[in-house]
Amino acid sequence: MKLSELRPCDNCGGKIAPIFYVLRISPAVINMRDAHQGVALGEAFGFPLELVEGMGMSGEIGTIAMDEKKDSGKQIMTEIWICQECHMQPINIAEIVERVSERKHDKVEEK
Ligand SMILES: [Zn+2]
């Protein structure tokens, strides 16, 4: 992290130094067809899901966008910075993510 990259708390706009918290938020998607198939197979044979996962299915039924190896997954991720004071209070993560995403979007349009 560079000095020029520092910014205020994404919730209150206050100072973040010396200790703050970083939350990386990403959408995640479950492939419902694969999930239902796995559950149905387990129920049909009375197998636990761990066994069903070992029976030829990959075991992967979902994706967390920011864990994808492609850059597009990382672009979908939103990083929010929270000061110590806000960290101790209830915060609306959806509102903060929206605000940070808009700011990120504005910066891209400026370029
Ligand atoms: Zn704050």
**57 CA from centroid of ligand 1 (Å):** 45
- Report the pLDDT value the prediction gives residue 101, as an integer from 0 to 100: 87
- State the total domains in the chain: 1
Q: Ligand 1: distance of its center to the CA of 15 in Å?
A: 7
> In the structure, how many helices (H) and strands (E) does the chain have?
5, 4
* 30 contacts 62 by C-beta, under 8 angstroms: yes
Predicted pLDDT at 57:
62
Residue 97: its pLDDT value, please? 93
What are the φ/ψ torsions at residue 100 (nearest 5 degrees)?
-65, -40
Q: Would you say residue 29 has pLDDT above 70?
A: yes
- Token pair listed for 59: 């075991």
- Ligand 1 centroid to Cα of residue 13, in Å, is 6
Looking at residue 39, its pLDDT comes to 86
For residues 90, 8, 1, 92, the Cα torsion angle rounded to the nearest 10 degrees is: 20
pLDDT digits (tens, 9 = 90+) for 32-90: 998 888 888 889 989 888 888 887 666 788 888 888 877 776 678 899 999 999 999 99
Q: What is the pTM of this model?
A: 0.72
- Higher per-residue pLDDT: 108 or 39: 39
Alpha carbon of 86 to ligand 1 centroid (Å) = 4
Cβ 62 vs Cβ 10: under 8 Å: no
Q: What are the residue ranges of helices labelled H in 19-69? A: 32-45, 49-53
Judge contact between 14 and 85, C-beta under 8 A: yes
- Given this model, what pLDDT does residue 58 score? 63
Domain that holds residue 104: 3-110
